[in-house]
Amino acid sequence: MAAAAATNLKVIGAWASPFAMRPRIALNVKNVDYEYLEETFAPKSELLLKSNPVHKKVPVMIHNDQPICESLVIVQYIDEIFTSGSSLLPSDPYDRAIARFWATYIDNTWFSSLVGIAKAKTDEEKATASEGLTAGLALLEEAFEKISKGKGFFGGKTIGYVDIALGSCLGWIRVAETLSGSNYIDETITPGLNAWADRFSSDDAVKDLIPDTEKLLGFAKRRFGSPAK
Amino acid sequence: MAAAAATNLKVIGAWASPFAMRPRIALNVKNVDYEYLEETFAPKSELLLKSNPVHKKVPVMIHNDQPICESLVIVQYIDEIFTSGSSLLPSDPYDRAIARFWATYIDNTWFSSLVGIAKAKTDEEKATASEGLTAGLALLEEAFEKISKGKGFFGGKTIGYVDIALGSCLGWIRVAETLSGSNYIDETITPGLNAWADRFSSDDAVKDLIPDTEKLLGFAKRRFGSPAK
């Protein structure tokens, strides 16, 4: 399919960051061209420091020379600015509130357990993180059944806001499964999310962006050291 | 002024919670009547547990029997549902992204320093929290000058999204000042925010909601124990 007319649009990201993947998936859903800049971090680029002076973190999206920071803020901006492709947030205000609730839950509550598996230095820390991850995915499985209404995505028939918030973490869920030897998303424990994960990962807007699990595992080991076995 | 037609609207809150104050300020700005339910916590009410099973926390807003949780999600919902009163989020998508960025900053980065003053058990912990609070307010002072453009509020001439996010914390800022013996918002260090705080606190939508500093201080001491001196 032909991309929408190119705009003055850049995304500063990092291949291993689930947060940095979010604007890229959103722009792909909207079928909008952008320039991707992989941040090198050593040292941080002048453009990153200038564009996100508060957090100095990826992702940053720069639209017509104006920087926008925070992945979920960027995704909402993309949804409001680009009318091409499908809508990311639902049109009904209550459904929109529910989508925002779950995206906030993923980032502010659940994510610490996900990264906790890779950061764990002891078996006890790993077990605590693993329990948090499992309990959170059980809630998200239930939310998925309720919100998707059998249409395939949290966003209905197409990828939406919560799909992007959770789906961007799939690579790290696979890493957590390898590190802990447990399944977090599979046919038995989360049948809805299991089919959703396959659907999401193979979508044209996503398939080239989810990092290879082995490569991400190597990154996690370099970043956080050897985890508890 | 006459309130808009009463709707089937309840807010479950707690007087000392800045988060719980947010929906109430937003509804006052919109001039919408609601029923306020003060949560007692011991034990948590059936309505709270049923309405916010994930976090079991205030605030919850219940609109036509549908619960909405997370203070900033509720404020956005109020802005989208009620067209009475002024808009809380700016109409321009970029300005809206900037407002969302600062509200996220307040909750996810700055707030831990604010509550850190009350939670501090050692002088070192208190000093770290105090530095974080001051540094954050310096950033917010700068943002205020840029965003308000001399109109008085982050939201322009009227109270908006960032005003509610930060202003709901003013009672706790006064508590932190008392506990640490430092000024965090005053004429010298944050002249813009100092005038803004007076304007915000005396606004009709707010003035009856900001708790008395002494009463809040008593609450903080009961909740977090005696702080470092």
**DSSP letters for A100-142:** HHHHHHIIIIIHHHHHHHHH--SHHHHHHHHHHHHHHHHHHHH
- Walking along chain B (229 residues) 10 residues at a time, the average pLDDT comes out as 63 97 98 96 95 98 98 98 95 98 98 95 95 98 97 97 98 96 96 98 97 95 73
Please list every residue in chain B whose beta carbon sits closer than 8 Å to the beta carbon of residue A97. 68, 73-74, 76-77
Shortest Cα distance from B82 to chain A (angstroms)?
11
Please list every residue in chain A whose beta carbon sits closer than 8 Å to the beta carbon of residue B70. 100-101, 104
Residue B111 and residue B168 in one domain: yes
Residue B122 and residue B187 in one domain: yes
Please list every residue in chain B whose beta carbon sits closer than 8 Å to the beta carbon of residue A69. 101
Residue A121 and residue A209 in one domain: yes
Residue A55 and residue A116 in one domain: no
Residue A77 and residue A100 in one domain: no
CA torsion A156-A160-A165-A166 (nearest 10°) is 30
* Residue A37 counted as domain residue: yes
Residue A132 and residue A214 in one domain: yes
A interface test, pick of B52, B54, B109, B137 with most A CB neighbours within 10 Å: B54
CA torsion B150-B208-B212-B142 (nearest 10°) is -20
Please list every residue in chain A whose beta carbon sits closer than 8 Å to the beta carbon of residue B108. 108
d(CA A184, CA A182): 6
Q: Is A149 left (phi over 0), alpha (psi -120 to 50) or beta?
A: left
* Residue A214 counted as domain residue: yes
Given an 8 Å threshold on Cβ–Cβ distance, is A55 in contact with B109?
Answer: yes
d(CA B112, CA B3): 36
The answer to whether residue A54 neighbours chain B at the CB level (below 8 Å) is yes
Vertex A92 angle, CA A86 and A97, to 5°: 100
For B100, which of A73, A101, A139 is closest by C-beta distance? Answer: A73
d(CA B68, CA B61): 5
The confidence score (pLDDT) of residue A59 equals 98
Residue A89, pLDDT > 50, answer yes
Instruction: Compute the half-sphere exposure of residue B56: CA atoms within 13 Å on the CB side of its CA.
Output: 8
Given an 8 Å threshold on Cβ–Cβ distance, is B68 in contact with A108?
Answer: no
* Residue B3 counted as domain residue: no
* Residue A137 counted as domain residue: yes
Residue A214 and residue A111 in one domain: yes
Give the number of other CB atoms < 10 A from CB of residue B199: 15
**Domain edge (last residue) among A81, A116, A131:** A81
Given an 8 Å threshold on Cβ–Cβ distance, is A73 in contact with B104?
Answer: yes
Residue A7, pLDDT > 80, answer no
* Residue A2 counted as domain residue: no
The confidence score (pLDDT) of residue A42 equals 87
Shortest Cα distance from B100 to chain A (angstroms)?
6
Residue B63 and residue B115 in one domain: no
CATH code of the domain covering residue A18:
3.40.30.10
Instruction: State the burial class of residue A68 (Cβ atoms within 10 Å of its Cβ: 0-12, 13-18, 19+).
Output: buried
The answer to whether residue B79 neighbours chain A at the CB level (below 8 Å) is no
d(CA A148, CA A159): 11
d(CA B165, CA B22): 7
Tokens of A215: 């490569």
Please list every residue in chain A whose beta carbon sits closer than 8 Å to the beta carbon of residue B101. 68-70, 73
Residue A74 and residue A16 in one domain: yes
Mean pLDDT of chain A: 94
Given an 8 Å threshold on Cβ–Cβ distance, is A77 in contact with B96?
Answer: yes
- Taking only the tens place, the pLDDT of each residue in B4-20 is 445 699 999 999 999 99
* Residue A4 counted as domain residue: no
Name the percent of chain B in helix, strand, coil, to the closest 5. 55, 10, 35
Tokens of B16: 């000392």
* Residue B126 counted as domain residue: yes
């999600």: which residue's tokens? B73
What is the count of structural domains for chain A? 2
Tokens of B63: 């609109």
Residue B47 and residue B148 in one domain: no
Given an 8 Å threshold on Cβ–Cβ distance, is A108 in contact with B108?
Answer: yes
Q: What is the ipTM of this complex?
A: 0.95
The confidence score (pLDDT) of residue B5 equals 45
Q: What residues make up the domain containing B219?
A: 93-224
* Residue A88 counted as domain residue: no
Tokens of B108: 């996810």
The answer to whether residue A70 neighbours chain B at the CB level (below 8 Å) is yes
CATH code of the domain covering residue B137:
1.20.1050.10
